Structure 1
């Protein structure tokens, strides 16, 4: 008797509750797309990007810092829309990519 009740509920749910990929939140959103790349020379596993619109022009700047093999560190500021370097600086101090940058 209990099994019949469960089956009835399952059948009702199958017909009245839409299920599928098209009903998930965000399912119709486009996937992430790689927009640009840049060879920074930094040790890759120590690089951590930060995206923010610093100058309020509607274009995100992407900040990246990371250590170089020389022991120095590099800080980059990229235009987020096309990946060109806005500015960069080499720091004599060792920065790790996952620490907040002091800019």
Structure 2
């Protein structure tokens, strides 16, 4: 069930491409539904966000990182239930394309 929750969180990033859509997960699974969108401004290319309930409050946090157009790199944490920014931080190191395990 937890995997289904993670997969169904959809985020729209810089290029407004929805992540986590489609209906080919399982025969009995409903189609994925876009929950919210956000434009963080990160140049994220073809990487996926990381979704996990880090503070154990029952709401998933969604993490996205990457360089901004200005050249500064940022890490964003979004509330998974509504897409508002929970926090963001400027990275002291340059960030490029990543996978969620690097965040």
- Interval of TM-score (by shorter of Structure 1 and Structure 2): 0.5 to 0.7
Which is richer in helix?
Answer: 1
The TM-score with structure 1 as length reference comes to 0.66
Which structure's CA Rg is the greater one? 1
Runs of 4+ in 1 over 4 A off after TM superposition: none
Counterpart contact for 1:63–1:76, Cα < 8 Å: yes
Structure 1's unaligned 5+ residue stretches are: 1-24
Q: Which residue of 1 aligns with 2:28?
A: 28
The TM-score with structure 2 as length reference comes to 0.66
RMSD: 1.9
Give the distance between the partners of 1:55 and 1:93, measured in 2 at CA. 25
Cα offset, 1:97, TM superposition: 3.4
Give the distance between the partners of 1:44 and 1:71, measured in 2 at CA. 13
The answer to whether 1:94 aligns with 2:94 is yes
Structure 2's unaligned 5+ residue stretches are: 1-24
Counterpart contact for 2:54–2:61, Cα < 8 Å: yes
In structure 2, relative to structure 1, the CA distance for the partners of 1:43 and 1:95 (3 Å cut) is same
Counterpart contact for 2:44–2:65, Cα < 8 Å: no
Number of equivalent positions: 77
The answer to whether 1:79 aligns with 2:79 is yes
